[in-house]
Amino acid sequence: MSSNSNSNNSISGSNHALPKSGCSTWYVYMLRCADNSLYTGVTTDVERRVEEHNENSKKAAKYTRARRPVSLAYVETAMDRSAACKRESNIKRLPSQHKEALVDGFQASSSFTLVSSAIAQSTVKSPK
């Protein structure tokens, strides 16, 4: 999960930006699976990672391979990989109601629509 893609998609907004190429920012994300469950992970490239989860790829998590399609439900930035992994672990230990509250709060933000639309369409590119 540590490789960066050449994607130039970036949508500004606190804790809601997609990474730029060459960026080493880490992200903690949650995906909404087809069975309505939530999957939590970390990455340096949210768009690439969502695509990997949805493709017929060995890079997709075993959990999401059986629950496709998935969509981005939540994303936040972390200072480094260690912080991202700690936050991922904390989120995974939350009761489902608290996870849903995170998702609901994220969906209420205007950035969510832009980020999820770009990832869902996979062809939308930000102006250069």
pLDDT at position 21 is: 47
Six token digits for residue 115:
């980020």
d(CA 111, CA 60): 25
Do 90 and 124 touch, CB atoms closer than 8 A? no
Q: Which of 7-11, 23-27, 48-52, 72-76 has the lowest mean pLDDT?
A: 7-11
pLDDT at position 75 is: 96
d(CA 51, CA 61): 12
d(CA 27, CA 116): 15
The second-level CATH assignment, the architecture, of 26-121 is 3-Layer(aba) Sandwich (3.40)
Six token digits for residue 107:
């969906």
How much is the pTM?
A: 0.70
Domain parsing of the chain, residue ranges: 26-121
